[in-house]
C-alpha cells in the first residue's frame, strides 16, 4: 500500500460511483436488458462513419483549433439560427466540447466563485452538483413535483439572493421527460432581469420533443440568450454517445471566460469526427426527424408497459420514461431496481439518485432508446413479473 504523508481529504466526500455505472455493470453481470443508462443500442447511419474514415484517410488527424473546426462551428450556428432565430458568431460564440458533461463542468468552473449560489432543479442530473461544489459554490435546490415535474416559479424566486450567480436548467428534462414551455422561459427571464445571474441551459435533448410541441431553447429569448451558456450534444442527436462530442453557445463575453477553462481541461476535440459531423449536418432532416423517430419508440414502450402494473408518468420529451411502481412493491426504489435487474432481468434507474437527500417517491426511469426487439424482450419479462 502506498504511504501518504497526510490523510487525503476528499473534495467530494459524499460522491461515490455514479448510479449509471452501477446499474449498467449490474445489468451486464446479471445478463439483464439494460434500460438504465441512456444510450441507444442501434447504430448511426453508415454515411457518418464513412465521413469520419474519409477525413482520417485525408490526413486530418492532428489537433483541431481549440474552439473547434471552423466548418463545424459554422454548421452549428446555421442550425441554431434556422431553428431558433438566434445569430451566434461561429468564431467567438460557438465552441465544440468533449461531450455535454465537459461543457457543463467547464461553464461552472469558469463562472462560479467560492460562496456563489447556484440554483438547480431537482430531480437533477448527477453531474451538476459535484461541478458546483468543486468550485466552492453553494447549491440551492428548486423541487420539481411529481407527476408533472413542472417548475414552481414562486419557489424559485424565493431561492434568489444577492449571492445567486447561476441558474442551471435542463429542458427537455432528464430524468423526468418534462418539456418547458415559452411561459416557463418568460418566468425565468423575469427572475433574472436586472441581475448578474447567468443561466446554464442543458438542452442536449433539444430535438427529442413529442406531440407537436416545440423545444423552447433559451436562444429564442434574446434577453435570456444574452446571459446564457447553452449546451447541446451530438451524441444524443446522432446516436453516437460514445463519441463524446457536444457544443456550447454563448455571447462572446461569457464564451471568452468559458474558453479560458476549456483550453486547459480539454483543449480541443478530435479532428476527423468534427469534420464528419460538419458534413453530416448538411442534411437537416437528420435532426428534424428525430422527434418523430423517438415518439414512435415512446409510444411503443408505453403500450408495452400498459400491460403491467406500472403507473406511466407523462413523457413529453427525451428518451426516458418514468413510472411509479407502488402497485407492484413497497421496496425502496434502490432495492426495487436491484430486484428488477436480478430477478426480472431488466435494469432501470431509481429516481432517488437525482435527489440530494435521496428522496424516494417510488419512481424509476427506463430508457427506451432501444431497438424494438430489445424493448419487446423487456416487455415479456416485465409483464410476467410486474
Angle CA(205)–CA(22)–CA(372) in degrees, nearest 5?
50
Predicted local confidence at residue 9, as pLDDT: 87
Q: Give how many domains the chain has, as a whole number.
A: 2
Residues of the chain scoring pLDDT < 50:
none
Cell numbers found for residue 107: 461553464
Helix (H, G, I), strand (E, B) or coil at 106: helix
Predicted local confidence at residue 3, as pLDDT: 63
Predicted local confidence at residue 1, as pLDDT: 54
Give phi and psi for 263, each to the nearest 5. -65, -20
- One domain for residues 221 and 249: yes
- One domain for residues 260 and 130: yes
Cell numbers found for residue 105: 463542468
Domain range for 337 is 19-44+288-385
What is the DSSP-derived secondary structure letter of residue 151?
-
Q: Within a domain: residue 49?
A: no
Predicted local confidence at residue 4, as pLDDT: 60
Q: Within a domain: residue 5?
A: no
Q: Within a domain: residue 2?
A: no
- One domain for residues 310 and 269: no
What residues contact residue 187 under an 8 Å CB cut-off, 6+ apart? 151, 153, 156
- One domain for residues 234 and 334: no
Q: Within a domain: residue 278?
A: yes
- One domain for residues 30 and 101: no
Of 258, 283, 308, which closes a domain? 283
How far apart (Å, rounded) are the C-alpha atoms in residues 194 and 326? 45
- One domain for residues 100 and 247: yes
How far apart (Å, rounded) are the C-alpha atoms in residues 123 and 102? 20
- One domain for residues 68 and 160: yes
Predicted local confidence at residue 201, as pLDDT: 98
Q: Within a domain: residue 367?
A: yes
Q: Please report, for the domain that includes residue 312, its CATH number.
A: 3.90.1150.10
- One domain for residues 323 and 272: no
Q: How far is CA 212 from CA 47, 82, 298, 383, in A?
A: 29, 18, 14, 30
Of 248, 283, 318, which closes a domain? 283
How far apart (Å, rounded) are the C-alpha atoms in residues 25 and 19? 10
Q: Which of 141, 365, 377, 103 is nearest to 244 (CA)?
A: 103
Predicted local confidence at residue 14, as pLDDT: 84
Contact at 8 Å (CB) between 231 and 104?
yes
Residue-wise pLDDT tens digits, 119-147: 999 999 999 999 999 999 999 999 999 99
Predicted local confidence at residue 15, as pLDDT: 83
- One domain for residues 125 and 106: yes
How far apart (Å, rounded) are the C-alpha atoms in residues 215 and 202? 12
- The pairing of strands 349-350 and 363-367 is antiparallel
- Residue 340 has, within 13 A of its CA and on its CB side, a CA count of 30
Contact at 8 Å (CB) between 189 and 221?
yes
- One domain for residues 313 and 277: no
Q: Which of 221, 246, 264 is nearest to 101 (CA)?
A: 246
- One domain for residues 265 and 342: no
Q: Please report, for the domain that includes residue 231, its CATH number.
A: 3.40.640.10
Predicted local confidence at residue 6, as pLDDT: 74
Contact at 8 Å (CB) between 270 and 64?
yes
Q: Which of 104, 234, 249 is nearest to 168 (CA)?
A: 104
Of 283, 306, 339, which closes a domain? 283
- One domain for residues 279 and 292: no
Q: What is the pTM of this model?
A: 0.96
Amino acid at each position: 500500500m502506498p504511504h501518504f504523508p497526510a490523510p487525503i481529504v476528499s473534495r467530494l466526500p459524499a460522491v461515490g460511483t455514479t448510479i449509471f455505472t452501477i446499474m449498467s455493470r449490474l445489468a451486464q453481470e446479471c445478463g439483464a436488458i439494460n434500460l438504465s443508462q441512456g444510450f441507444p443500442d442501434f447504430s448511426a447511419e453508415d454515411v457518418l462513419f464513412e465521413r469520419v474514415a474519409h477525413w482520417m484517410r485525408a490526413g486530418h488527424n492532428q489537433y483541431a483549433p481549440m474552439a473547434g473546426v471552423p466548418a463545424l462551428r459554422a454548421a452549428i450556428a446555421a442550425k441554431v439560427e434556422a431553428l431558433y432565430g438566434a445569430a451566434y458568431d461561429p468564431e467567438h460564440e460557438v465552441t465544440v466540447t468533449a461531450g455535454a458533461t465537459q461543457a457543463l463542468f467547464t461553464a461552472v468552473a469558469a463562472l462560479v466563485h467560492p460562496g456563489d449560489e447556484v440554483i438547480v432543479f431537482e430531480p437533477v442530473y448527477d453531474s451538476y452538483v459535484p461541478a458546483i461544489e468543486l468550485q466552492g459554490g453553494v447549491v440551492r435546490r428548486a423541487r420539481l413535483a411529481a407527476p408533472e415535474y413542472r417548475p414552481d416559479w414562486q419557489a424559485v424566486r424565493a431561492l434568489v439572493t444577492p449571492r445567486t450567480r447561476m441558474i442551471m436548467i435542463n429542458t427537455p428534462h432528464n430524468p423526468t421527460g418534462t418539456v418547458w414551455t415559452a411561459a416557463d422561459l418568460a418566468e425565468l427571464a423575469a427572475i433574472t432581469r436586472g441581475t448578474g445571474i447567468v443561466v446554464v441551459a442543458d438542452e442536449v435533448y433539444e430535438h427529442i420533443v413529442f406531440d407537436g410541441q416545440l423545444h423552447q431553447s433559451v436562444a429564442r429569448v434574446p434577453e435570456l440568450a444574452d446571459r446564457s451558456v447553452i449546451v447541446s450534444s451530438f451524441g444524443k442527436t446522432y446516436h453516437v454517445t460514445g463519441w463524446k462530442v457536444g457544443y456550447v453557445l454563448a455571447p462572446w463575453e461569457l464564451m471568452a471566460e468559458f474558453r479560458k477553462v476549456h483550453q486547459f481541461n480539454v483543449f480541443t476535440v478530435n479532428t476527423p469526427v468534427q469534420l464528419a459531423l460538419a458534413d453530416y449536418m448538411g442534411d437537416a432532416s437528420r435532426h428534424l426527424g428525430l422527434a418523430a423517430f423517438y415518439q414512435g419508440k415512446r409510444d411503443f414502450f408505453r403500450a408495452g408497459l400498459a400491460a403491467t402494473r406500472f403507473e406511466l408518468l407523462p413523457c413529453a420529451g427525451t428518451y426516458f420514461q418514468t413510472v411509479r411502481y407502488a402497485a407492484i412493491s413497497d421496496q425502496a426504489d434502490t432495492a426495487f431496481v436491484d430486484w428488477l435487474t436480478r430477478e426480472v432481468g431488466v435494469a432501470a434507474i431509481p429516481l432517488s439518485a437525482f435527489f440530494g437527500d435521496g428522496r424516494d417517491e417510488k419512481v424509476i426511469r427506463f430508457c427506451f432508446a432501444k431497438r424494438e426487439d430489445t424493448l419487446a424482450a423487456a416487455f415479456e419479462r416485465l409483464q410476467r413479473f410486474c
